[in-house]
Amino acid sequence: MKSMPVSFRLSLCALAIAGVSTSTLAAEECPIPGNVRVVIGSTSTGGDTYQNSSIVVDRLAEKLDINMKVDAVGAMPAFRALERSSNGSTLMIFHDMAYLGHLYGINGYDNIFEKYKVGPTVAINPGNAYLVPKNSPYQTVDEIIDAAGNGEEISVAIQPGGVSEIGFSALKNAVKIEYPGMEDNIVAVNTGSQADKNQLLFNGYADVINGSVQANEQYTRLPEDDQKAMRFVWLTARNETIKQANEEGLGETTREELLQYVTPNVSVTMDGEKDFTFDKEFFFLYNKDMSPEIVSCIDNALGEIYAQGEIQEQQKSLFFIPNFLPSSEAAAHLKDKMARYETVIENIQ
């Protein structure tokens, strides 16, 4: 082999040293493993948790130049996987059910602020909705609250213990405030998937169902004589949240039309003064002992990703509202949210 010129060899050495020192520096700044598993609190790959997690995780993996994979394992296996791994090789993405499950006393849901580290928030799904059959006698949530207050039993199909139940609790709370003693007329029909909730509405065994803009919007476009036709009566999202959605909204329901179903156009009182609102937010959860360097590394990486602005467009195109808050702000924000909903839940117990 021909010997390389000395200058070329020196250059190569310099490059190698520079490369090594750069990667060492990078590893010190961000000591995250090269293969990271992101478990999510849902087993569905067709739901909003998987959809949103995929967007964020793909961008994060690219930014950190590591392998990351989203695994739809469900809440309990995800919490357990997170407990087992403190070196950053397992992270979790979930939504408000992580703390609502604890507030509702669901077995296996601990206080996330004590048991885990709360990571950054990444997005909001503004679509949490309540629907009635298109030919329902109830035109608005006000009419539903009044009917319950006047002794009619209103059955609401929900999945217990989380995002689906919080709106139900709010309705019950509103009836209690406006018609004390009549709140038991709002009755939960506990069920599972969106399919089950829809089915109860089709068969007339629920007056109201919890659903979402994404899953139910097409049903709202069916003619009234169709057994499957539904109508939105309430979106729990804040008015400001919906205002951030793309103007075209979702499907053929525009942002302006969606705004008709949120406060102040729809009022479900929280305490007699303020309206109840609920944004379904997605955020990271970490093992309690995960190093602060990894926490800030992910915060920084996401901060840069959101600063570039492309992810926001992607999220908005899929009807998510970008909502990046770094870990410390996210924890305070979610704690505050939890405290608010705790009062609602306690008030109806």
CB atoms within 10 A of CB 187: 14
Minimum distance of another protein from residue 215's CB (angstroms): 6
Site for another protein in 86-145 (CB under 8 A): 101, 106-108
Residue 216 or 327: the one with the smaller Cβ distance to another protein is 216
**Candidate list 86, 89, 140, 190; residue touching another protein; CB under 8 A:** 190
**Tokens at 279, concatenated:** 């944004």
The total number of residues shown for the chain amounts to 349
Minimum distance of another protein from residue 46's CB (angstroms): 3
CB atoms within 10 A of CB 5: 9
Minimum distance of another protein from residue 134's CB (angstroms): 12
Count CA atoms within 13 Å of residue 156 on its CB side: 32
Amino acid at site 319? F
Cβ–Cβ < 8 Å for 255, 246: yes
Rg, the chain, Cα only: 24
Minimum distance of another protein from residue 258's CB (angstroms): 15
Minimum distance of another protein from residue 313's CB (angstroms): 12
Report the alpha-carbon distance of residue 325 to residue 120 in Å, rounded: 5
Residue 223 or 272: the one with the smaller Cβ distance to another protein is 223
Helices assigned H by DSSP within 272-326? 292-308, 310-317
Report the alpha-carbon distance of residue 61 to residue 295 in Å, rounded: 15
Residue 106 or 177: the one with the smaller Cβ distance to another protein is 106
Cβ–Cβ < 8 Å for 283, 121: yes
In the shown chain, the binding pattern of residues 297 to 336 toward another protein, with x for contact by CB under 8 A and - for none, equals --------------------xx------------------
Q: Which residue has the tokens 């478990």?
A: 39
Residue 194 or 327: the one with the smaller Cβ distance to another protein is 194
Cβ–Cβ < 8 Å for 132, 233: yes
Q: Which stretch binds another protein (CB under 8 A): 63-71, 143-151, 279-287, 326-334?
A: 63-71
Count of residues interacting with another protein (CB under 8 A): 57
Minimum distance of another protein from residue 231's CB (angstroms): 14
Q: Which residue has the tokens 């407990």?
A: 83
Q: Which stretch binds another protein (CB under 8 A): 7-15, 130-138, 213-221, 266-274?
A: 213-221
Q: Which stretch binds another protein (CB under 8 A): 7-15, 139-147, 198-206, 261-269?
A: 198-206
Decide: is 161 part of the binding site for another protein (CB under 8 A).
yes
Residue 85 or 269: the one with the smaller Cβ distance to another protein is 85
Q: How far is CA 53 from CA 50, 168, 272, 328, 334, in A?
A: 5, 27, 37, 20, 18
**Candidate list 179, 202, 255, 337; residue touching another protein; CB under 8 A:** 202
Phi then psi for 51, rounded to 5 degrees?
-60, -50
* Coil, strand or helix at 10: helix
Site for another protein in 230-289 (CB under 8 A): 250-251
**Tokens at 129, concatenated:** 């909705």
Report the alpha-carbon distance of residue 257 to residue 140 in Å, rounded: 14
**Candidate list 116, 219, 283, 324; residue touching another protein; CB under 8 A:** 219
Footprint of another protein on this chain (CB under 8 A)?
39, 43-48, 50-51, 54, 58, 69-74, 76-77, 80, 101, 106-108, 159-162, 189-196, 198-200, 202-203, 205, 214-219, 221-222, 226-228, 250-251, 317-318
